[in-house]
């Protein structure tokens, strides 16, 4: 086993290597196999992605769809090279973990991962057997090493899925605690806020208040802040209660137009839409989906600040047979810091000085209750910019 200092990564890698029985002798055997197999990498990559594109559920997990297959074939070619050449050290382990985390992020079901690895096992084994037909002992030795390294790859992938499972469990526990705390505090705050509102109403009705401009000014400021506090309490309670969805046929173009009326963008922000009018009629709760658009639009406008920029919403029905609509909302602002992207949909996660961090958490909750979802995807080109990808099913499932 080849390893470099890497702390916890080294410990996990060593444990997995022991589990599959991978040794330095196997590493030498894999390097011996490389010149035999490398001439077939391109063909194997073609077979690999042709098989994926034959299955709609696996195909839809490909980021960028068929347009990205050419790039992914090159990536798979490099992956097979490092599979056989190593070194199988901490850096190798971290690279494989990153691949596994991508699979988790795009929600690739584990059985597709097993199927893909089995296809590579079959193709590489067939190459080995054909090339060493007259040297069965050597073929057996190299075959054993190939089996171990592919088992190690699967073990690393499963390790990343386990990481995600533990993270989800921790998140669920945090949300449960958060919900209990919010429910208690939210309802308790309603009482003093109600008293303040009643007292404020009485004071405003006094003749002395109407005659003194300074008193009127301060009473108005108190009223504004009470309204802000009530909005905060309402947002917190919305996060923990499940208001029934009032399902009805709707057009997302009309829902978007209603959101724009509620959050009219300032003059220095241009808003563009594409494909929204062409979407089919969906079924859902127009009021709650309007809140999704309002929150996303507010975030985009706030990201631009005082700078001139644009917000763009594009919509389509992907041609992959998955029966869903996809909406992409982008802004020309600075984008999200990579350090917080993975947690951007968690309650109380915010980068705003006066933000609560509930907007995107509520967006995700509403979309999930509609059978959809949302993800953050960096624009990938040009300076900065945030890009949120929303999906909603064409056929709704009961909440």
Q: Where does the pLDDT of residue 6 fall: very low under 50, low under 70, confident under 90, or very high at 90 and above?
A: very low
Q: Where does the pLDDT of residue 13 fall: very low under 50, low under 70, confident under 90, or very high at 90 and above?
A: confident
| Topology adopted by domain 6-172 | Globin-like (1.10.490)
**Of 257, 275, 261, nearest to 328 (Cα)?**
275
Over residues 165-190, mean pLDDT: 68
pTM: 0.50
Report whether 138 contacts 43 (CB < 8 A): no
Cis before residue 87, ω within 30 degrees of 0? yes
Q: Give the 3-state secondary structure of residue 7.
A: coil
When the candidates are 2.30.29, 1.10.287, 3.40.50, 3.30.70, the CATH number that belongs to 178-240 is: 1.10.287
d(C-alpha 171, C-alpha 169), whole Å: 5
What is the pLDDT at residue 167?
Answer: 66
What is the pLDDT at residue 4?
Answer: 41
**Of 78, 106, 102, nearest to 160 (Cα)?**
102
Report whether 189 contacts 229 (CB < 8 A): yes
What is the pLDDT at residue 77?
Answer: 86
Dump the DSSP string for 336-375: --TTTGGGTTSTT---STT--S-HHHHHHHHHHHTT-EEE
Assigned token pair, 263: 């959050």
Dump the DSSP string for 36-92: HHGGGHHHHHHHHHHHHHTSHHHHTTSTTGGGGHHHHHHHHHHHHHHHHH---SHHH
Whether 178-240 and 6-172 are alike in CATH topology: the answer is no
Higher-confidence residue of 10 and 217: namely 217
What stretch of H or E contains 102?
Answer: helix 90-105
Report whether 102 contacts 156 (CB < 8 A): no
* Domain 248-393 class, CATH top level: alpha beta
What is the pLDDT at residue 398?
Answer: 40
Residue 248 bridge partners (DSSP) = 284
Q: Tell me: the pLDDT tens digits for 278-319?
A: 999 999 999 889 989 998 998 888 888 888 889 999 999 887
Higher-confidence residue of 4 and 323: namely 323
Q: Which sequence spans correspond to the domains of the chain?
A: 6-172, 178-240, 248-393
Q: Tell me: the pLDDT tens digits for 308-347?
A: 889 999 999 887 656 789 999 998 888 777 766 666 777 6
What is the pLDDT at residue 179?
Answer: 65
What is the pLDDT at residue 382?
Answer: 44
In this structure, the number of other CB atoms found within 10 A of the CB of residue 396 comes to 15
- Map 240-295 to HEC letters: HCCCCCCCEEECHHHHHHHHHHHCCCCCCEEEEEECCCCCCCEEECHHHHHHHHHH
First to last CA, the chain: 51
Go through 211-246 and write b for each residue having 16 or more CB atoms within 10 A of its CB, e for each that does not: eeeeeeeebeebeeebeeebeebebbbbbbeeeebe
Q: Tell me: the pLDDT tens digits for 130-148?
A: 999 999 999 999 999 999 9
Assigned token pair, 256: 């978007």
Sign of the alpha-carbon torsion through 333, 336, 338, 339: positive
Residue 66 predicted with pLDDT over 60: no
Counted residue by residue, the chain has a size of 399
What is the pLDDT at residue 123?
Answer: 92
């Amino acid at each position: 086993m080849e390893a470099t200092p890497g702390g916890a990564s080294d410990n996990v890698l060593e444990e997995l290597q022991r589990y599959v029985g991978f040794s330095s002798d196997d590493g030498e055997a894999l390097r011996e196999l490389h010149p035999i197999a490398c001439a077939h990498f391109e063909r194997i990559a073609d077979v690999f992605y042709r098989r994926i594109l034959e299955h709609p559920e696996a195909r839809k997990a490909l980021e960028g769809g068929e347009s990205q297959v050419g790039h992914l074939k090159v990536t798979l070619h490099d992956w097979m090279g490092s599979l056989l050449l190593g070194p199988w050290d901490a850096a190798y382990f971290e690279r494989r973990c990153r691949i596994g985390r991508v699979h988790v992020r795009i929600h690739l079901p584990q059985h597709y991962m097993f199927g893909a690895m089995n296809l590579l096992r079959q193709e590489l084994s067939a190459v080995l057997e054909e090339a060493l037909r007259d040297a069965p002992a050597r073929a057996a030795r190299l075959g054993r090493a190939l089996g171990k390294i592919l088992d190690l790859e699967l073990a690393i992938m499963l390790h990343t899925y386990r990481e995600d499972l533990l993270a989800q469990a921790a998140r669920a526990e945090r949300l449960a605690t958060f919900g209990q705390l919010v429910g208690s505090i939210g309802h308790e705050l309603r009482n003093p806020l109600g008293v303040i509102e009643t007292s404020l109403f009485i004071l405003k009705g006094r003749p002395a208040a109407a005659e003194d401009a300074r008193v009127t000014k301060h009473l108005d400021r108190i009223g504004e802040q009470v309204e802000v506090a009530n909005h905060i309490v309402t947002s917190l309670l919305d996060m923990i209660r499940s208001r029934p969805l009032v399902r009805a046929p709707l057009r997302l173009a009309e829902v978007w137009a209603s959101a724009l009326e509620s959050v009219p963008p300032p003059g220095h922000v241009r808003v563009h839409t594409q494909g929204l009018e062409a979407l089919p009629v969906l079924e859902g709760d127009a009021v709650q989906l309007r809140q999704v658009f309002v929150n996303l639009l507010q975030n985009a406008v706030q990201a631009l600040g005082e700078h001139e920029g644009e917000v763009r919403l594009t919509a389509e029905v992907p041609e992959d047979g998955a029966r869903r609509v996809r909406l992409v909302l982008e802004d020309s602002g600075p984008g999200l810091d990579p350090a917080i992207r993975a947690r951007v949909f968690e309650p109380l996660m915010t980068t705003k000085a006066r933000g609560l961090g509930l907007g995107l958490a509520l967006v995700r909750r509403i979309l999930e209750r509609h059978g959809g979802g949302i993800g953050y995807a960096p624009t990938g080109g040009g300076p900065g910019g945030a890009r949120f990808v929303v999906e909603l099913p064409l056929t709704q499932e009961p909440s």
